[in-house]
Structure 1
Amino acid sequence: MQIGIFTGVTDESIGPADLARAVEDRGFESLFVAEHTHIPVTVTTPYPGGDEIPPDYHRNLDPFVTLSFAAAATQRLRIGTAVTLVVQRDPIILAKEVASLDLASGGRFELGVGVGWLREEMRNHGTDPRTRVALQRERLLAMTNIWSHRQAEFHGEFVDFDPLYSWPKPVQQPRPPVWLGGWGPSTHERILDHADGWLAPVGIPLDELARGIRELQALADRHGRAPVPVIATLFQPQRHQLQYLAELGIHRTLLGIVPVLPHDAALHELDRLAEVSFGPHR
């Protein structure tokens, strides 16, 4: 099982280059970052975390800018989003951003995607929350066409374009790994339809995660598919939890740093997480 770091990066946190170097130097395999373009002042959508929406959410740097600095500052570190809000982004531009970052990083980028929960944020981007699941699917399929074909075209209900040229193509073919986030009534079916793996929801109890993995793999088997890789996320991890996730066959566990931390505090937290993950003599 690989172990990486998940966090936001803001104007008040450790910078992306210093963060990425520190993550790689401590032996972690990957760095995944969050996305919110903004937080509307007036919000009626319930926050999944319970209380007020944290200030970090409206201070996030753009994830592709963050990860560009992270890639340039490291050699081996896998970089990714958890998650890109595809329903709030133009698919032709997003396809270009993903391919460019994958090329510039030497094929180290991974795309975590989610339909999002904050309806007011979506509406500000012209997205109808009621159709966001179907919209995400079409945008991902359209982007895959752009990455995979010399002349790409797509004709759907929400995405429609005639043949076009778009370079660069990603180093990873036919596309960088796409991880679908969440867990709803159709999540597992959607993973098999248009993603490569499951980005399990943050904060899910481990016994529920185990049940979800069993259901996902049973569905994959019924469709004649190989087992689907899974990413889990832990906050305040303990060693026995990491061992349990490894026994479940988890592909990668992300250790969360939330809320974001300034430079020195972030380095101390990474030291603590490295000791939990790898022991004092790694």
Structure 2
Amino acid sequence: MEIHTTLVQDNLARVPDEIRRIESAGYDGVMTQENRHDPFLPLAVAAVSSERVTLGTGVAISFPRSPMVLANTCWDLQSASGGRFVLGIGPQVKGHNERRFSVPWTPPAPRMKEYIQALRAIWACWKSGGKELDFQGEHYQFSLMTPNFTPEPMAYEAPPITMAAVGPAMLRVAGEVADGVRLHAFCTRRYIENVILPQLETGLVRGQRQRSDLQVTGGGFLVTGATDEEVAQNLEFYRSRVAFYGATRAYWPVLEQHDLLDLGAKLNQMARDGQWQAMPAEVSDDVMQLFAAIGRHDEVVAEIQRQFGGLSDAIADSTSYDMPGTLPADLIQEIQALPTPWAGFRS
């Protein structure tokens, strides 16, 4: 199993020291997010300040960027990092696309499938030295590529493409065409087994692929610390996250798997009433056990196996760069020793 953490994004000057600390600790990779800051700039600094860890966006928003623009960014990051870049993209929701990014909205699943295919067509053109580019889709068309706009040859394979997926249609697209799927943290083991995996399997069959071809990342929270006090403190942070997501109707299918729709309705009403500070108290420890692997450093590996074992190929110990990963090296090695179905990114 791979263990990832988040990379600082609020100050690029801090990236070199932070990426070296993360790499020395033994983490497999780092992720950036597209929230308050650009997700690619920190990875560019990290690419030339590290040697081993993978560098990924978890995730960058796809549709505001032309596939051609994103292809260029990824090509340069892959080259600068020596082949360690992993692209993670997601569609975001309609409101953000239309009102925050001012881009038109269409059904995201078919558009995301075409987006990934367009990226690969562009990279294949560049790998061939700029031979004819001819991608004709419903949403994207690319037919012009001259030597002046063809990047220099790269010795590495084009970057793997992973994608965020929540709904059934996006999960099927991930299984069919992506190299990896990034699951929402608001998941339980039962929900992954009963809902997510069947949809991924349908996509894998369509793409004539095996489960071992697809990296599954996330699907829950990791709550740990060196002492019981640290675990308890971290647990309260993640309890607030579960309460926040549980109040949102879009995530209620997860609660439905555990007959917890009444909890979702109560949290939703509290959110409407502005009772944000009181909401976490409605999430019991038993409910937290459904969403997280919880325990001290000396006991959490068994909990990780219970929560993620056989389902997720990579997990993260942080969901925000405000909470940098600080797992000890021996714990990282124990997590990495857990077996997973994924066989690695293929060319």
**For the superposition of Structure 1 and Structure 2, which TM-score range results when normalised by the shorter chain?**
0.7 to 0.9
Extract unaligned runs of 5+ from structure 2: 225-293, 295-299, 335-347
Q: What CA distance in whole angstroms lies between the structure 1 residues aligned with 2:25 and 2:163? A: 27
Q: Residue 105 and residue 259 in structure 1: after superposition, are their counterparts in 2 closer, same or farther (change >3 A)?
A: closer
Q: Which of 117, 127, 133 matches 1:152?
A: 133
Q: Match for 2:15: what amino acid? A: P
Which position in structure 2 is the counterpart of 1:225? Answer: 209
Residue 70 of structure 1 pairs with residue 46 of structure 2: yes
- Tell me how far 1:126 sits from its aligned partner: 3.5
How many Å separate the matches in 1 of 2:204 and 2:101?
A: 38
CA contact (8 A) 1:210 1:248 kept: no
Distance apart, 1:115 and its partner CA: 0.6
2:139 aligned with 1:139: no
Q: Distance in 1 between matches of 2:54 and 2:161?
A: 13
Aligned partner of 2:118: which letter? Answer: A
Higher helix share: 2
TM-score normalised per structure 1: 0.76
Match of 1:251 in 2: 313
Tell me how far apart the structure 1 counterparts of residues 209 and 90 of structure 2 sit (CA, whole Å): 23
RMSD (Å), alpha carbons: 2.8
Moved more, 67-76 or 217-226: 217-226
- Identity value in percent: 21
1:180 to 133, 138, 163: 163
CA contact (8 A) 1:2 1:253 kept: yes
Higher relative contact order (CA 8 A, sep 6+): 1
Q: Distance in 1 between matches of 2:195 and 2:303?
A: 17
Query: Could you tell me how far 1:215 is from its partner in structure 2?
Result: 1.4
Distance, in Å, in 2 between the alignment partners of 1:168 and 1:86 is: 24
**Corresponding residue number in structure 2 for 1:242:** 304
Alpha-carbon contact 2:175-2:200 (below 8 Å) kept: no
Task: Show the counterpart of 1:167.
Answer: 151
Aligned residues between the structures: 248
Is the radius of gyration larger for structure 1 or structure 2? Answer: 2
Counterpart check, 1:208 vs 2:270: no
Instruction: Indicate the SS of the match to 2:138.
Output: coil
Q: State the Cα distance separating 1:235 from its structure 2 match.
A: 4.0
1:95 paired to 2:76: no
Corresponding residue SS for 2:306: helix
Match of 2:40, as an amino acid?
F
